[in-house]
Structure 1
Amino acid sequence: MEPIGKQANFTFQAWSGDKNKDYKNIDELMTDKFYSGKSLSELIDTVELDFI
């Protein structure tokens, strides 16, 4: 996932395999069950996150 900013309107883009999805805020990103039926909140202890 990565934050994308355009004229002070930030969105977050997530991808998994060949799927992409944009989110308006971090809460949507963390709670959407986008990753094989699980949310990032559910997976946070099992994934490695890199911040650029």
Structure 2
Amino acid sequence: MAGISDKRERLISAADKLILQQGFKQNTLADIANDARVPLGNVYYYFKIKLAS
């Protein structure tokens, strides 16, 4: 179970870092996943995202 929280924490840390460096609108989920060394699909697993259409 430690691996799950580790990936989630890495995603959060990467998002914090990139948003501070480049701003919110300049980053994509792919940028965050890449920086956290986590597959992009895992972002949706760890964070249930529902986009408005």
Specify if TM > 0.5: no
With a CA cutoff of 8 Å and minimum separation of 6, indicate the structure with the bigger relative contact order: 2
TM-score under structure 2 length normalisation: 0.30
- The structure in which a higher percent of residues are strand is 1
- The structure in which a higher percent of residues are helix is 2
TM-score under structure 1 length normalisation: 0.31
